Structure formats: structure tokens, C-alpha cells
């Protein structure tokens, strides 16, 4: 791979990256012999050049001086007779766990050789570390953004579209053992530009039917985990539904014990530590896939519920689901939603979600998926600073479309670069260290 950068002299310098030796090689193309001599290639692991330092963007690359050992005498004589080096090899140095190719101080824009740089050849890009990569309960995510449950998660096509637009993982709509029709309209009310109130009633085709959608999606080999959201009215229903979807190919199960607008399930289970423990234990004893528990904020102490879930075997938790809320039409004097009460989502609940993630991070030792009001990469970073390993995006898709995944990932990558950090993992829970 070669990059051409202007120098202070009248000619140019080529910089090449060797995959085999992980080194940078700079050669002068105007020289009659721009290749390294056979003798020099025998010692590529110990390059021998005059001592010099290059400080680029606060990164020093030190060139090693020539060795005077007897076995290098022939090469030293050859270099002196030629009066100048025809090839210089600089070992690529890892700085703060971040692989940076610092090449030209006068053109800093050329130094951003990240995974997103189209000039990097595919085989080189594959061997570079992905700063956005993260892990949740053994699931490898190419980036920390996840499609939240209930948003476009009912068909193979919509789930595939979310992945194609950059989602690191997807969560399906909440699926029950038997089909549900949900509530009558109106089921959604827009509160402001960034917040929604909904009471859908958990409509879904049932576990056996939806298992076919998961099988079809897994055939696409999209390299993103598929997490099945499960709802039930008893521990037995949670267990049976989770078993069906896990067998169909779901990479993990997210237990919805937090829906605020359906009676005898959701938050009515998630508000009781004993019921939470019972549901999690039965599911964990039935399936081998990771189990994630989605927590409700409609409790006195969310940490108590998180602890109960983790002690029962939960591999991770998602915080938070929607807040129980209502809106009334001032003209008709009636609640707007047919169910009257719904769940509030979007930017209005973000400060509450941040607080929940922060408190849970201090109390349990499992990955946390942050959810609630994420619309920008700054929101995503804030959740991770509070302790989230990954984040879910839902309501913002309604206003910004599926491109929000790429937008947020690009913003997080830029943030890491500005902070001179090599991995998104380095900011998880960072606010607790201050």
C-alpha cells in the first residue's frame, strides 16, 4: 500500500505499509535504487538508520541507529559507500493502545488512517483494530449501537435493514408465546420533536411464527447478533417462548419485564424482585444463550431489581424501558391514547436513564446496555461514561431514520480520536473514576 505526501523538497516520498513486518517503509522514487539491499532485508526486525526523531501530533517515532556488530559490517560499508540511505524502515509503534500512522506534520488530515479511511486497502483494514468493537455476554459487536426492541423489529427485512445501516446488533419486537393483536388506535402520541408516548399492547404474531423470521434472518450471515425480546405472563411462558426463539437461532434473549402498559406482565413483574428472580432462573435453566434483562424505571429502587436479576443469573441488563405516562387532549378532555396510559420514550427520559445506568454500574458486575433518549453521538458517549457497554436506539429512528446508526458511530469514532483513545471500551464507566 502506498500513500503520496508532499515534502519540503522538490521530490516526493512514498510510504508503504508491510503487512508481514508491521513496519513503515519510506523510499525515494527518484533514486536509481529505491529498494532495500538483500543484506538489509535479513535484518528487517532491527532496522539500522541514523538516529532521528519525528514528532507528529504529539507522537514520536524513533528511528534506530545502525549496529556496529561484526555481522553487520558488510551492510555498514555499503551504506557509507553510497553516502545516503536508499531505504529507511521505521517500526510502527503503538501509542496508548491506538495504532496511529503518523506520516506528515504539514498535512494532519492525512494522518487519520482509521478503519473508515477509503484509501486503506481491504487486507490492511482487516488487520487494523476496530475502535468501536465491544462485547456483551460473549456477543461480539462491531460497534456499540443496537436497534431497540419494538422499533422495526417484526420482520426479517426491517431487521436486516437496520444491520445494513450500521447497527451493531438488533433486538426484535417483544414476542409472546401466543399471538397478540394489541390495543386499538390511537396507540402513539408525539409529545415533542424527540419524544413519543405509546401503548401498542405488545402486538406480535407469536413465538412459533416469528421463529421463521429469525431463521430467515440468520441465513443472511450479516455479522451482527440477533437478540430476541421475550414477553410472558408467567415464568413458564417466558421460558417456553425463549426456548423457541433461541432454538430458531437467536443469539441472545432479552426478557421484557418492564413494559408499563400491559397488565399482569412487563413492569408488574419487573417491579417485584422475587418474580424477577423466578423468571430469570427458569429461563437460564432452560437455554444456553445469554440472557439480558430489560429493567423498568417505574420502581422505587432500580438497583434492587438489577441485583435480583444478576443474582438469578442474568448475563447483562438493559436500562431503561419507557416511563409510565399519559397525555390528554385539551379539546376533547380525554386521554389521547386508547389505553389512556402508555410508555414515554425519547429525549425526555434521557437524564433518568443516565442516572439509572450510573447507579446500576456501581452495584453489579455485568454489562449494561443503555437505552432512553439517545439521538446524538454525545448522548451515546454519555451513557458509556455512566457505565454502559453498548446503547440501544429506538425513538430517534422515527425522526432521523436508520442512518442514525452510521451517524452516531462516526461521531463516537471522532470522539475517540480527539481524546487519543484506541477503543470505545476505554470510556465505559469513566465518569466513576473522577
Residue positions annotated with a catalytic role:
259
Using alpha carbons, list the distances in angstroms from residue 48 to 63, 186, 421: 8, 75, 31
The 3-class secondary structure across 383-431, one letter per residue, is HHHHCCCEEEECHHHHHHCCCHHHHHHHHHHHHHHHCCCCCHHHHCCHH
Closest CA to 202 of 228, 174, 239: 174
Question: How is residue 226 written as a grid cell?
Answer: 440477533
Block residue for cell numbers 453521538? 377
Query: Distance between the two ends of the chain, CA-based, in angstroms?
Result: 42
What's the CA gap between 256 and 377, in Å, rounded? 26
The bridge status of strand 291-294 relative to strand 145-147 is: unpaired
Q: What residues are paired with 252 via a beta bridge?
A: 227
Cell numbers standing for residue 256: 421484557
Report whether 357 contacts 388 (CB < 8 A): yes
Cα 161 vs. chain centroid, distance in angstroms? 17
Compute the radius of gyration of the chain from its Cα atoms: 27
The string of DSSP codes covering 268-317 is HHHT-HHHHHHHHHHHHHH--S-EEEEPPS-SS-HHHHHHHHHHTT-SEE
Separation CA 216–CA 206 (nearest Å): 16
Cell numbers that stand for 317 in this block: 441488563
Q: Give the three cell numbers for residue 423.
A: 477503543
Amino acid at each position: 500500500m502506498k500513500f503520496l505526501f508532499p515534502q519540503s523538497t522538490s521530490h516526493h516520498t512514498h510510504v508503504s505499509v508491510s503487512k508481514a513486518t508491521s513496519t513503515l517503509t519510506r523510499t525515494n522514487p527518484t533514486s536509481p535504487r529505491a529498494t532495500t539491499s538483500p543484506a538489509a532485508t535479513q535484518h528487517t526486525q532491527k532496522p539500522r538508520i541514523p538516529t532521528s526523531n519525528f514528532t507528529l501530533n504529539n507522537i514520536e517515532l524513533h528511528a534506530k541507529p545502525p549496529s556496529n556488530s561484526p555481522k553487520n559490517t558488510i551492510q555498514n560499508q555499503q551504506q557509507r559507500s553510497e553516502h545516503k540511505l536508499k531505504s529507511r524502515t521505521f517500526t510502527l509503534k503503538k501509542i496508548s493502545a491506538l495504532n496511529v500512522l503518523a506520516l506528515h506534520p504539514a498535512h494532519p488530515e492525512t494522518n487519520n488512517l482509521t478503519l473508515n479511511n477509503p484509501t486503506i486497502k481491504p487486507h490492511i483494514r482487516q488487520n487494523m483494530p476496530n475502535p468501536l468493537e465491544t462485547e456483551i455476554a460473549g456477543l461480539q459487536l462491531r460497534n456499540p449501537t443496537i436497534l431497540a426492541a419494538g422499533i422495526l423489529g417484526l420482520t426479517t427485512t426491517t431487521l436486516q435493514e437496520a444491520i445494513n445501516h450500521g447497527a451493531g446488533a438488533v433486538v426484535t419486537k417483544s414476542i409472546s408465546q401466543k399471538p397478540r393483536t394489541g390495543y386499538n388506535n390511537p396507540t402513539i402520541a408525539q409529545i415533542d420533536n424527540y419524544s413519543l408516548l405509546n401503548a401498542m399492547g405488545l402486538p406480535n404474531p407469536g413465538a412459533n411464527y416469528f421463529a421463521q423470521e429469525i431463521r430467515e434472518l440468520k441465513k443472511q450471515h450479516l455479522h451482527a447478533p440477533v437478540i430476541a425480546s421475550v414477553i410472558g405472563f408467567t415464568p413458564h411462558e417466558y421460558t417456553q417462548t425463549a426456548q423457541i426463539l433461541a432454538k430458531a437461532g437467536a443469539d441472545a434473549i432479552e426478557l421484557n419485564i418492564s413494559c408499563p402498559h400491559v397488565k399482569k406482565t412487563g413492569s408488574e413483574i419487573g417491579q417485584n424482585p422475587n418474580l424477577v428472580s423466578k423468571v430469570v432462573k427458569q429461563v437460564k435453566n432452560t437455554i444456553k444463550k445469554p440472557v439480558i434483562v430489560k429493567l423498568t424505571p417505574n420502581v422505587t429502587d432500580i438497583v434492587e431489581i438489577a441485583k435480583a436479576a444478576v443474582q438469578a443469573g442474568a448475563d447483562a441488563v438493559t436500562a431503561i424501558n419507557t416511563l409510565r405516562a399519559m397525555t390528554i387532549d385539551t379539546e376533547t378532555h380525554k386521554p389521547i391514547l386508547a389505553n389512556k396510559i402508555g410508555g414515554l420514550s425519547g429525549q425526555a427520559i434521557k437524564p433518568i436513564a443516565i442516572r439509572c445506568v450510573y447507579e446500576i454500574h456501581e452495584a453489579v458486575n455485568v454489562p449494561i446496555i443503555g437505552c432512553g433518549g439517545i439521538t446524538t453521538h454525545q448522548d451515546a458517549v454519555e451513557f458509556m461514561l455512566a457505565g454502559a457497554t453498548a446503547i440501544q436506539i429506538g425513538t430517534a429512528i422515527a425522526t432521523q431514520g436508520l442512518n442514525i446508526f452510521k451517524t452516531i458511530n462516526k461521531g463516537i469514532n471522532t470522539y475517540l480520536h480527539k481524546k487519543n483513545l484506541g477503543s470505545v471500551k476505554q470510556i465505559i464507566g469513566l465518569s466513576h473514576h473522577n
